[in-house]
Amino acid sequence: MLNKSCNFVQNKLNLVKIGDIELPDFPLLLAPMEDVSDPPFRALCKEQGADVVYTEFISSEGLIRDAAKSVMKLDIYEKERPVGIQIFGANMESMLQTIDIVEKSNPDIIDINFGCPVKKVVSKGAGAGILKDVCLMESLTAEMVKRTNLPVTVKTRLGWDHDSIKIVEVAERLQDVGCKAISIHGRTRAQMYKGEADWKPIAAVKNNPRMHIPVFGNGDVDSPEKAALMRDSYGLDGCMIGRATIGNPWFFKQVKHFFETGEHLDAISMAERVDAARRHLQMAIDWKGEKLGVFETRRHYTNYFKGIPDFKEYRMKMVTSDDSKDVFVAFDEVLDKFANHQFI
């Protein structure tokens, strides 16, 4: 295990920058998550302390074919900045055309997904599939860096499987062709999301004396203590957080409060949860329209209202109603009936 006090001092002395974008000490980044990291959710996370937010990953092939779902994911808003648009693909020409399209949305960062383990992505050689061909990974990054003046960053995994972990070499090669930051998930593609994330190889990347770009850790940061461990014991430059934020955009605030005080933030009240759910739904409707807004916000409600006894009746109203008016009424009922519920 790395020396705790030395790493803490190191983090304090080194400014974290992605290109020319200056970030606070040990920034907290919202991970790109399919069907989760859309503008309404990103806005809520930003309000609660996320230092950088990323879009859902966007298919390069979908963009160059002007597929409606892919194009819609390019929507970003001023209040989100700094914001990164994440793209994936394995075809050089498609990825370069995608850069030109993405630039028109004026993001602060372009991020390349070299880490998605899902079969439909990997089978096309994209996402974590490219971990089988590090030379292609390097050349894609190099050409994309040349194509844009925006900082290009990468999100990836430790390797394809346990026997092919070369993340120290991979990170160095990506840095050498112009990558401005790297986020590393502490699992291989073979692991998918099983087992525990291993942060030791990520620390090895950070401790490589040739590395000078920010190295962000990702995977299993589901408590303020885990974030502190990643900072103090593993010496990383920041933390990219994904699943822990679903239905809990306050996670960023909870981590920062813990960093500042060493204590946990008071539990989020019912009123705060209802307000967030209400605003989330309204922003989704404003962005996607009534039908899609109502449908695609449903996945968040279970987590917003987790652990409340005798809640099934109200949850069913939220996730089965097609009319937003009914969902808003359900929110009012929840606030009235469970106002005094104490979350742990």
- Concatenating the DSSP letter of every residue in 313-325 gives HHHHHHHH--SHH
**Helix axes 270-288 and 39-47, enclosed angle (nearest 10):** 140
Residue 239 bears catalytic tag = no
DSSP strand pairing (182-185 vs 215-218): parallel
On whether the CB atoms of residues 179 and 153 are closer than 8 A, the answer is: yes
Report the C-alpha gap between 27 and 240 in whole angstroms.
8
What does the DSSP 8-state code read for residue 265? Answer: P
Q: Beta strands of the chain (E only): which ranges?
A: 16-18, 21-23, 28-30, 52-54, 58-59, 83-88, 109-114, 152-157, 182-185, 215-218, 238-241
Instruction: Give the H or E element holding residue 200.
Output: helix 200-207
CA-CA-CA-CA dihedral for 322, 53, 129, 126, to nearest 10: 70
Report the C-alpha gap between 239 and 217 in whole angstroms.
5
- What the block records as the tokens of 321 is 């109603």
- What the block records as the tokens of 136 is 């292609």
**Which residue type is seen at 33?**
M
- CB neighbours (10 Å) of residue 247? 22
Residues in the chain: 344
In the set 116, 135, 179, 239, the catalytic residue is 116
Report the C-alpha gap between 180 and 153 in whole angstroms.
5
Report the C-alpha gap between 132 and 171 in whole angstroms.
15
In sign, the C-alpha dihedral spanning 234, 135, 124, 295 is positive
Contacts of 68 (CB under 8 A, 6+ apart): none
Residues annotated catalytic, as ranges: 116
